[in-house]
């Protein structure tokens, strides 16, 4: 195993030796698979481009993100700059390395977009983006090659599974009453979080090598904090808010559709994104993070509200302002 790590470190060092000037472009590319990027882009797609693509992206965000977190808890794999101080840290990551979350998110998000659009040119463009995101993670010193390859593989498998079973699951869900759908959304959100705590508990006896922490400090990278649970709480809240809001909207008004002129589509995004930013940043400043239990509950509430805003309250405002068509 150590010899394989050293081989992959050689790949990272080779890329980094191409020049530090590449750090800026690769950091920008890496942003295409971050939480902040999808918080801005997913509502744009759902409200103003294609509601079906936006819906699928949201579900894939929750599914892929949750599985990625659980697997990181299982493998306890280091990042290159934890393992070898000669690797430069061009970004700040604190979680375990395997599988690469950015690579998996890129493969699942841009993959589901390509699977929905089904146009050759668009698919090729998405594959290029997926490849560049993975390459950026190698150059930035955030992942070994195995992390990136595993992330790509998992993302592709999840896209295939989603497209394979979406129709059956959707038919089953729509056969339930609205109350049951909302309850199932809440249960899903809670289960996602409880599984996160469960995998964390299983790893309680695992001790991080002191060398990893020391190397991270020597490279100027972020201090490892792989057992942080905030990410999985975020996903649980998004799952509950997005799914329940969508269920309510469909029950009252039918399937959402991104219709209207370019001006109206742009206006919807401007109006809606103000609410997203207000909830994302405003509530973050208002809600306390301590004590931890209260902080976790309020984090769940914050992302639930963001999900509800995207799928129900913002579209309701669009309807009142006659921006929906």
Q: List, for residues 80-113, the tens digit of each pLDDT value.
A: 999 988 999 998 889 999 999 999 999 999 999 9
119 compared with 284, residue with greater pLDDT:
119
CB-based contacts of 78: which residues, under 8 Å, 6+ apart?
96, 97, 209, 212
Q: List, for residues 3-40, the tens digit of each pLDDT value.
A: 777 788 999 999 999 989 999 999 999 999 998 898 89
């Amino acid at each position: 195993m150590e010899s394989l790590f050293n081989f992959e470190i050689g790949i990272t060092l080779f890329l980094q030796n191409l020049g530090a000037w590449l750090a800026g472009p690769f950091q920008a590319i890496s942003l295409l698979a971050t939480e902040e990027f999808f918080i801005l882009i997913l509502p744009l797609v759902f409200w103003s481009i294609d509601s079906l693509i936006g819906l699928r992206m949201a579900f894939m965000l929750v599914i892929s993100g949750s599985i990625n977190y659980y697997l990181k808890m299982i493998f306890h794999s280091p990042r290159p700059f934890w393992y070898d101080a000669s690797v430069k840290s061009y970004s700040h990551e604190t979680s375990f390395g395997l599988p690469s979350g950015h690579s998996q998110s890129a493969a699942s998000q841009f993959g589901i977009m390509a699977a929905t659009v089904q146009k050759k040119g668009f698919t090729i463009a998405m594959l290029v983006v997926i490849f560049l995101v993975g390459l950026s993670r190698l150059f930035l010193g955030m992942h070994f090659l195995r992390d990136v390859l595993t992330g790509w593989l998992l993302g592709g498998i999840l896209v295939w599974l989603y497209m394979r079973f979406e129709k059956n699951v959707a038919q089953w869900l729509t056969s339930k009453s609205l109350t049951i759908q909302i309850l199932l959304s809440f249960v899903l959100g809670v289960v996602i979080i409880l599984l996160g705590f469960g995998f964390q508990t299983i790893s309680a006896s695992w001790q991080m090598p002191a060398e990893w922490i020391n190397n991270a400090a020597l490279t100027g990278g972020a201090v490892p904090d792989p057992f942080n649970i905030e990410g999985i709480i975020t996903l649980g809240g998004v799952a509950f808010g997005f799914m329940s809001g969508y269920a309510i909207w469909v029950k009252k008004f039918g399937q959402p559709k991104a219709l209207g002129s370019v001006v109206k589509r742009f206006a919807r995004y401007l109006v809606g994104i103000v609410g997203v930013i207000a909830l994302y940043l405003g509530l973050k400043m208002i809600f306390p993070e301590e004590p931890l239990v209260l902080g976790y509950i309020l984090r769940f509430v914050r992302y639930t509200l963001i999900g509800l805003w995207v799928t129900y309250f913002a579209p309701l405002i669009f309807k009142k302002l006659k921006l929906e068509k």
